[in-house]
Homo-oligomer: A and B are copies of this chain.
Amino acid sequence: MAGNSFGNIFKLTTYGESHGNSIGGILEGCPANLNLNLEAIQKELDRRKPGQSSIVTQRKESDTVEFLSGIFEGKTTGTPIAFQIKNKDQKSKDYSHIKEIYRPSHADFTYDKKYGHRDYRGGGRSSARETACRVVAGAIAKQLLQDIQIIGFVSSVGEISLEQSFEKLDFKSIEENIVRCPDPEMATTMENYIKSIRKEGDTVGGTVTCIIKNVPMGLGEPVFDKLHAQLGKAMLSINAVKGFEYGSGFEGTKMRGSEHNDRFLENEQTQTNFSGGIQGGISNGMDIYFKVAFKPVATLMQKQTTINKDAEKVEMQGKGRHDPCVVPRAVPIVEAMAALVLADFYLLQKINSEKI
């Protein structure tokens, strides 16, 4: 209701502000007896953490997750898994200059209008720092999903865009460069571009593509909770996201049905996959793929004019530590949200598929 939960059965509720004591969450609905690999969870978190490379924010957070309940002798107990990540490098004084100011294209203005006041330090609840909690829960979801593979990568930075089909990419090289682009040459171009943008105190947008392999047939629910509708909501809930498309996406609107229809083969696969692995909102066993659009980060290291609480014009300049381009760190977040969606439908399908 109040927007802090995601999922129906496999359900995450998060709390926390950018500069509070800690952020964290409660994950409900994880079946009992799952052997949790805690190191693998921390490793996912490390993929998202600030300071990991020269092209991301230099806020210094170890982002160490601590589990508080729901795990006993290494296995899930079926009861809620609570966890927290302490905030350590919250330099709140960095934000005193924006206490009374509405930063352009940030959530400062709307939070104030909605709630009457706000925790202005680092954006408070609206900060993308909250997504660390999603990565923790998503890492547990990945362990539940076992054979299902979820692979995210950066497919564009600004105008620099990876055009080839995902089937031709070498996913192993994704983590070998700091941009998280599977094409090493393109990765270098992107990295250099991000560095030049940063030097100007500016920011730039980009896209993340995600592929999901080995999805069982039958996941997703009819009508309102279609698999792609839930994936879309999941992605659009990530900070800075402006668009989502799956399968043939916006390009597919230009096609004719005779080209676009995916012909079934005798092995129950389809010859083409414009459907993106989903038909009628339900997985058909083919690869799921989708693309997520991220706008340029709103915090600039440049002078901008804006207004304050009294609607007076003021000038401001960004301080603090921010990302020139959000997509490299967004990759694990996109994967985590995809994992949460799949885990939820995977558990739900155990009920629908009941043989009676």
Contacts and interface: CB of A to CB of B under 8 A. Distances in A.
B114 A352 contact: yes
Given A17-B69, A115-B32, A79 B124 contact: yes
A69 B15 contact: yes
Contacts of A20: 68-69
Nearest to A278: B110
Interface stretch (A45-53, A169-177, A243-251): A243-251
A159 interface: yes
A264 B352 CA distance: 36
A206 B69 CA distance: 32
Given A16-B69, A109-B264, A306-B264, A250 B250 contact: yes
Interface string A190-230: 00000001000011111100000000011011111110111
A8 B9 CA distance: 10
Interface stretch (A54-62, A70-78, A178-186): A70-78
A320 B256 CA distance: 19
Contacts of A253: 156, 158, 205-207, 242-243, 293-296
B257 A250 contact: no
A24 interface: yes
Given A114-B352, A124-B72, A356-B31, A260 B105 contact: yes
A127 B294 CA distance: 33
Contact of A351 (B234, B259, B300, B347): B347
Contacts of A236: 226, 228-229, 232-233, 244
A126 to B, nearest CB: 4
Contact of A117 (B32, B204, B300, B307): B32
A90 interface: no
Contacts of A78: 2, 114-115, 352
A130 interface: yes
15 contacts: A4-B80, A4-B222, A15-B82, A29-B351, A110-B282, A113-B217, A114-B282, A159-B254, A229-B236, A232-B232, A236-B244, A245-B250, A257-B299, A260-B298, A348-B351
Contacts of A26: 4, 13, 15, 25-26
Contacts of A276: 242
A201 to B, nearest CB: 8
A107 B79 CA distance: 14
Interface string A231-273: 0111011000011111111101111111111111111101000
A20 B78 CA distance: 15
Interface in A1-57: 1-6, 8-9, 11, 13-17, 20-26, 28-29, 31-35
Contacts of A312: 266
Nearest to A300: B257
Q: Which residue, of A9, A204, A311, A352, has the highest number of chain B Cβ atoms within 10 A?
A: A352
